[in-house]
Amino acid sequence: MRVEFILNTAGEYFAGWVESRTIRDERDGKLKLPTEDGWIVLQHALSPFSSSPRPSITQGFIMPMYITQVMQSGDLREDIMPLPMTIGILFTVVPLTPKRIQVTADCRLPAAIDYFKQLLAEIEKLWPEATVSTARPLPNDFPKRPGTLEKYKRVFAIVVQTRERWRDLWEDGELDNPNPRMEDYKDAIANEMNWKPSDKTLRKIKKYGDEGLLA
């Protein structure tokens, strides 16, 4: 089971949450997963920010949860696995901005599906903007020319920057509304690209970007 979603948070914060949550689940025995003939044990995820060298805020990173033990016919033994170690669950994080990330969560172990779904539900509670969904076909009107796609990506990057600037100004009490208007976005785009999209095109770009299609 593989899903993708966008979160309005820093990669370091998300990584810390995943590590803390899975450590707690490991302590509570939730990473000991029943199978038809015994159990499989997963290791908790480790944040790359907990050790050196730490990734920069612009670097992507992965957080694997490895299979560490299996129990078959009631006998606990360490599983003998060729390198690289077998991954049960994998989080791949790609920073879009310092406070916005794209996450791909991949459960490769059938026995872990129920636990995996619990983790996703917790993520959606903490980050309501996360729309967890499986990979889906691109919309019919999604740009097919590489030049157009790159243009859309650049526009959406400006949209995200404008959103962050407006929210910072709103938090500082300089604005009454934290959400930019369409004209605010279009002015910012025109300043950067010397081009101003129509309302229809801008709405489409924002929709694609918020769905993670312009990452």
- Comparison of pLDDT for 133 and 12, the residue scoring more: 12
Q: Cα dist. 124→8, 94, 97 in Å?
A: 12, 18, 20
Instruction: Locate all alpha helices (DSSP H) within the chain, ordered by sequence.
Output: 11-27, 113-126, 146-171, 182-193, 199-210
Q: How confident is residue 80, by pLDDT bands cut at 50, 70 and 90?
A: very low
Q: Cα dist. 201→108, 141, 172 in Å?
A: 38, 11, 31
Encode pLDDT of 102-135 as tens digits.
Answer: 899 988 888 888 999 999 999 988 887 776 554 4
All residues at 6 or more sequence positions from 8 whose CB lies less than 8 Å from its CB, including other chains = 99, 100, 127, 129
Query: Can you give the pTM of this predicted structure?
Result: 0.57
Give me the domains of the chain, ranges plus CATH numbers. Answer: 2-134 (3.30.310), 146-210 (no CATH)
The CA-to-CA distance between both ends of the chain, in Å, stands at 21
Residue-level pLDDT at 199: 94
Residue-level pLDDT at 67: 85
Task: Report the alpha-carbon distance of residue 89 to residue 96 in Å, rounded.
Answer: 22
Tokens standing for 49? 């920010």
